[in-house]
Structure 1
Amino acid sequence: MDRIIYVIPFTSIIDQNACEVRKILEVDEGDSGRIVLEHHSNVGAERQSWKEKLLCDNWDAPIVYTTMVQFLEALFGGGTRGARRMHQLARSVIVFDEIQTLPIRCVHMFCNSVNFLVQSCGSSVVLCTATQPLLGDQHIDRLKGALALSSENEMMPDVQQLFDQLKRVEVRDERKPKGWAVDEIAELTVNEVTESGSCLVVVNTKKSARELYGKLSESLGESCFHLSTGMCPAHRREVLDKVKSRLDKAPVACVSTQLIEAGVDIDFASVIRYLAGLDSIAQAAGRCNRHGARAEGRVFVVNPAEENIDCLKDIAVGRDKANTVLDDYAEDPAKYGNDRIGPPLLEWYYQNYFYDRSADMVYPVSLGNSGQKDNLLNLLSTNPLAVSEYQRVHRESPSIYLRQSFKEAGRLFKSIDAPTQSVIVPFGKEGKDLIGELCGAFDVEKQFPLLRKAQQFSVNLFPHEFRKLQEEQAIFRIQEETEIFYLDQKYYSNRFGVSLEPINEEELLYV
């Protein structure tokens, strides 16, 4: 094989894993940056200038750490940027960590592409997770695209035995008919910190994280920490380092969005998880008693009364299906091996989740100004609507063999629901200095290493967030001819990261 490509859902996990691999493989001074490549996100807009095209990473390294977003963009995104990396996927070992985070609408396209990489490109693909989604043809439509799994595809000879041996937590279903108030969740957290020394609370939205963190800060002060995707990777890493240094030495509570629940090597005595999909609950449980230092850790599943996740469809559907299967478990725990996050209940959860969302797996889209409904799977395969329209107009079938609408599919494809814009943030002295150097670097050779470094000081903003900060005149271009932006210092909090409103003067002085 030519290289190993490690595909991860969250940038926070890339930081941690790439650092460990560098310690092993980049042992000589001259090896630094030449063996392990990190490619988090592109600092720049979708439409690049000629200078930015020269700065694109093309995954030309023995070990590549990247995100699922970048992997899917390389295969299905429009333009030439992703295509420049696609050939690197051949003759490679491709490891998908936390595969359960695969966007539901990309399921069939992902399965088809993986089959192609293995069968035609000589690659080897490994799907890693404690909560394996059901991607074989027994569970999803083979004609649309299911993984061609062999009877010996499972690397673990006895999955149930492995789960039994690694069981380190008790998952407690603490759902209430009217839900939990924020004050009640804060009280439970404080009690867990007092009793066991540490507690992680995983929530579903950045708003929930800020609200609960505000409540806990009043009680726990400096023992309380906050993590979210509104913070740049360097900021999150600093907070995680502080949390790890305090664990088992001093009381600590950490409020985080779901970025912490997959792959982050950290060990809390107890975990509170806001209700979400059962896979998310199981992943959050993996941060509790992770190193087996205690007889058993406690994981509390709570349903917040006021958290609004209506716009987060995957989380909302997962929450509803988790409600269903947890109710099933309550009626007959023995049927599921008396384990709320064991393989039998997880399989039942995925069967419920995938059955109701099978129509979403083909990547539904609206075509152009006509508003006609189709899906990317059709556009990239037989393209029946376009062929039918051609036949209607010309009274004959198109004579060309390749009938796909590649350009339209590339234009419509977005691996996440709302395309984000990356913004470099002035976190700490290093972040401020980096912005200054980028503003003064007009030579591409000087910009290239700076932009690589900038990935550690960048935050991806949703369109409404970007527009709001532009209206506040808080976002500036690095240079006139580029689509690379940086954030005004007054809009970056040392506690929460990017703020849509100016932070107070006291915190600004602290930063």
Structure 2
Amino acid sequence: MDYIAHIRATGERQLLQTHLSEVGELAASFAEKVGLAEAGRLLGLLHDFGKYSNSFQAYIKSANADLDRDDADFVDPVAMKGKIDHSTAGTQFIWKLLLERYPAVGNVHCVAQILAICIASHHGGLINFLDQSGDNRFNIRLAKADDLTHYTECLENCGEVFREGIQSQVNNEFLRSFIVVLKSMYPADAKQTIAFFYLGFCTRFLFSCLVDADRINSIEFDNPKAKALRLKRKKQFSWDTAIERLEAYLSTLDTNKSINRLRAQISLDCLNKAASPTGLFKLSVPTGGGKTLASLRFALQHAKLNKLDRVIYIIPYTSIIEQNAHVAREVLEHAGDEFSWVLEHHSNLEPELQTWESKLLSQNWDAPVVFTTMVQFLEALFGGGTRGARRIHQLARSVLIFDEIQTLPVRCMHLFCNAINFLTQSANTTAVMCTATQPLLDRLSKPELGQLEFSSGAELVEDPTALFASLNRVSVEDLCKQPGWTESEIVELVLDTYKKNKTCLVIVNTKAWAKRLFERCGEFLPADNIYHLSTNLCAAHREDIFKEVRMRLEAKRPTLCISTQLIEAGVDISFASVVRFLAGLDSIAQAAGRCNRNRELEDESGNAALGHVYIVSPEDENLGSLVDIQLGQAATRRVLGEGFSNLLSPEAIERYFFYYFSDRKDDMAYQLQEKSLDKSENIVRLLSTNHANMAYKQPPAKHLPQLQQSFADAAKHFKAIDAPTVGIITPYGEGQEIINELCGLDRYTERDRMRELLARAQKFSINIYENLFNELRSLEAILEAQHGLEIYYLKQEYYLNESGLSVEGGALPFLFDC
């Protein structure tokens, strides 16, 4: 009998033996990156072992009406979809094989746990070893009855050749080499929590190898063009081509200006460090120092010399991704290329610009240069399900460039540090932390929970302190006072600064203040001279304003822009002066980076002049529950009181983070807030020792521990951004057309069109907090496109062309906003 794994819509069958073998080979190639190729192969061979059951075969044949079948075997495919367990049989197979064959090997239990849980979880995401309730979910799965898993039946149906092949692969050498790798990831001198975390992360890494191999093989069976693309890219790809194109581009850049010469020196420093072995590095460069091209130069050369597979940029905001990816694409991609060098993966991508190729590659980041967000990165590492997890193995044997690393969410710090240490120490990966304001991720207050372990000579630039002095383009003046600046005083300061310097950027901490200042200053200025930016404007609206403001600045036309923090990190824009509401010193430094960015200012004699940055403290700033800003302000006040001559120097920034991190030390392990949980519980512990669920017992000497992580519970609680918001489509520009069409679509017959419209709607949507959403719903300012779909849109009269979302009379508070 031919056992079937998949059937194309056209009726072609993929034999189960073929699917298992091909997934095994792919998974082996992925797992080889951490020295576990044979483990990956075994996972591939056993992941769908349960499809050898007669029940599954009856189901898959019944699901395809074109296949010949005995009517006696017919089942209702709709009723049976998802009801036949085909993952537990392979779980039981590998568990019994290892424990029965090697019962005396002290570490066999840990090996069996890792392999078995990957197979058991490959459709829905990693399950728990232990639930938070204390139940041993893994043991319950292993003990599942034979009439439900069909284990005995599959063992008979798979045939002698398959059984003996698996049994011959699981030998002493396999077990020995697996244990050697695991012990290298579980260093004896590591803190208990960290060592457990590494074993858990190794499990997630192998899970990623299996899931991606399974999805790739299934897609390529259904779409042979996908396989041809993958093999062609693998055959034709060369880092030499990318390096030649980048060097040719760099040779055309103007180096007459002193600031461009400094940028060129930064780039050269990065090139000189490229021959370093893989590891963990810093690129500490002032804003406007050319980090994007300098880091790309390092990454391409480093990847070539260390035989790495790809470069991945992880960036905090989609607006910066679009900006930086555009630069990389201009440099690396030429007409006639048979594959795309640069892949963007973020929520604002316009669907009409995506091809089936880019959609496919976005699923697993299989491209030479990838640009993605920190949210996508963290969700891949710690989120639930399989979609993000399948990307993890692509982080191995790669260069990871973290742009504006100071924006890393505080509660994710220990999780992030442990994951990066694993990748750089065990997966032949290089990571670079890029920013003008380096956070002290290698000096956290609780190192026993994990902190970064930088390589020797970690700085890519020769002398960061001298560099910051050479690239100084602004003077920063502390104008904070008690009890604070009144609204009228701030308006007067802003207008005076604007009139004196012709261009001025004001950055505030809340949308409420941005709206108030925009309206007050607008009373004194022509409407086309003043602009407002906040997340009350949809992304397409903000993008249009950025373009207009840049054109005015280049033309040296008077321009006042009032914005929330969204303009700070990485946005390539330059004003003559900046007024910044008191915030964390890292935010103030980023704000300063939008001032005199290219040293374009000159004094009356034509010599280079400094831009001006003023720090002010409003007297009635309502920050609500914005703890990050409140504690950032407190730490900045301490630094302001210590008399640093240059508030943007590395020494001042280091002092700031010392104070700030000391205040946040209890927040960095991702504390769980649910009242029913132990208050000391956090996701770091759920993914390591899991003390709250089971007291840790020291294993015998030289033995690996039994794993007890709550993978599924951790994933359920994890959110890269803790914001219970609701997305609504705005009527800005094309947004109104999208709204009109969504309201009129037949939801049952035009589902593809609906998905396309919702993807296009990303750029025309805003996210608002639930309290404001409920208020606007009660006013009927927000309506549902179709009853029951939970697709919401904003009525035209509540969206202003100047400031976006607006409520008539300002009756609604802007709570918990930023």
| Counterpart check, 1:308 vs 2:639 | no
Contact 2:332 2:341 in 1 (8 A): no
| Counterpart check, 1:257 vs 2:564 | yes
For residues 728 and 393 of structure 2, the distance between their equivalents in structure 1, rounded to whole angstroms, comes to 29
Question: What does 1:29-48 correspond to in 2, within 5 Å?
Answer: 35-40=342-347
Change (3 A) 1:497 1:34: farther
| Secondary structure of 2:642 counterpart | helix
> Greater CA deviation, 207-216 or 370-379?
370-379
| Secondary structure of 2:668 counterpart | helix
Question: What does 1:493-508 correspond to in 2, within 5 Å?
Answer: 493-500=800-807
Alignment partner of 2:476 out of 164, 171, 195: 171
Query: TM (normalized to structure 1)?
Result: 0.85
Question: What does 1:276-287 correspond to in 2, within 5 Å?
Answer: 276-287=583-594
- Counterpart for residue 67 of structure 1: 373
Percent of aligned pairs sharing the same letter: 49
Contact 1:40 1:66 in 2 (8 A): no
One-letter code of the match for 1:414? Answer: K
Task: Quote how far apart the aligned CAs of 1:32 are.
Answer: 11
Change (3 A) 1:64 1:501: farther
For residues 425 and 240 of structure 1, the distance between their equivalents in structure 2, rounded to whole angstroms, comes to 19
One-letter code of the match for 1:408? Answer: D
Task: Quote how far apart the aligned CAs of 1:186 are.
Answer: 1.3
One-letter code of the match for 1:128? Answer: C
Q: 1:224-279 CA deviation, whole Å, 9 max, x = no partner?
A: 10001121111111111111111152211100001111100111000000000111
Alignment partner of 2:548 out of 242, 248, 251: 242
Q: 1:109-134 CA deviation, whole Å, 9 max, x = no partner?
A: 01011112223333322211100001
The structure that has the greater radius of gyration is 2
One-letter code of the match for 2:386? Answer: T
Task: Quote how far apart the aligned CAs of 1:156 are.
Answer: 1.1
Question: What does 1:93-132 correspond to in 2, within 5 Å?
Answer: 93-132=399-438
Task: Quote how far apart the aligned CAs of 1:31 are.
Answer: 8.3
- Counterpart for residue 210 of structure 1: 515
Contact 1:197 1:269 in 2 (8 A): yes
> Greater CA deviation, 104-113 or 246-255?
246-255
| Secondary structure of 1:460 counterpart | strand
- Counterpart for residue 294 of structure 2: none
Any gaps of 5 or more consecutive residues in structure 2?
1-307, 351-358, 602-608, 698-703, 811-818
Task: Quote how far apart the aligned CAs of 1:282 are.
Answer: 0.7
Alignment partner of 2:738 out of 411, 434, 446: 434
For residues 410 and 264 of structure 1, the distance between their equivalents in structure 2, rounded to whole angstroms, comes to 32
Contact 1:201 1:254 in 2 (8 A): yes
For residues 24 and 477 of structure 1, the distance between their equivalents in structure 2, rounded to whole angstroms, comes to 44
One-letter code of the match for 1:312? Answer: L
Q: 1:330-350 CA deviation, whole Å, 9 max, x = no partner?
A: xxx4xxxx2111111111111
One-letter code of the match for 1:432? Answer: Q
Change (3 A) 1:488 1:270: same
Change (3 A) 1:67 1:483: farther
Contact 1:56 1:81 in 2 (8 A): no
**Larger relative helix fraction:** 2
For residues 497 and 31 of structure 1, the distance between their equivalents in structure 2, rounded to whole angstroms, comes to 42
For residues 425 and 245 of structure 1, the distance between their equivalents in structure 2, rounded to whole angstroms, comes to 26
For residues 301 and 193 of structure 1, the distance between their equivalents in structure 2, rounded to whole angstroms, comes to 15
For residues 526 and 726 of structure 2, the distance between their equivalents in structure 1, rounded to whole angstroms, comes to 34
Q: CA RMSD in A?
A: 3.1
Count of residues paired in the alignment = 478
For residues 152 and 186 of structure 1, the distance between their equivalents in structure 2, rounded to whole angstroms, comes to 48
- Counterpart for residue 420 of structure 1: 725
- Counterpart for residue 324 of structure 2: 17
| Secondary structure of 1:220 counterpart | coil
**Larger relative strand fraction:** 1
| Counterpart check, 1:486 vs 2:788 | no
Question: What does 1:331-342 correspond to in 2, within 5 Å?
Answer: 333=644, 338-342=645-649
One-letter code of the match for 2:806? Answer: S
Q: 1:398-445 CA deviation, whole Å, 9 max, x = no partner?
A: x992211122211211222323333332211x2223344556486665
One-letter code of the match for 1:379? Answer: L
For residues 94 and 472 of structure 1, the distance between their equivalents in structure 2, rounded to whole angstroms, comes to 47
Query: TM (normalized to structure 2)?
Result: 0.54
Contact 1:26 1:32 in 2 (8 A): no
For residues 167 and 375 of structure 1, the distance between their equivalents in structure 2, rounded to whole angstroms, comes to 42
Contact 1:140 1:146 in 2 (8 A): no
- Counterpart for residue 133 of structure 1: 439
Any gaps of 5 or more consecutive residues in structure 1?
44-52, 392-398, 504-511
For residues 55 and 446 of structure 1, the distance between their equivalents in structure 2, rounded to whole angstroms, comes to 22
| Secondary structure of 1:464 counterpart | helix
| Secondary structure of 1:384 counterpart | coil
For residues 67 and 15 of structure 1, the distance between their equivalents in structure 2, rounded to whole angstroms, comes to 11
Question: What does 1:83-482 correspond to in 2, within 5 Å?
Answer: 83-136=389-442, 138-222=443-527, 223-247=529-553, 248-294=555-601, 295-329=609-643, 333=644, 338-367=645-674, 369-370=676-677, 372-388=679-695, 401-428=706-733, 430-437=734-741, 440=745, 446=753, 450-476=757-783
Change (3 A) 1:56 1:487: farther
Contact 1:418 1:463 in 2 (8 A): no
For residues 557 and 349 of structure 2, the distance between their equivalents in structure 1, rounded to whole angstroms, comes to 39
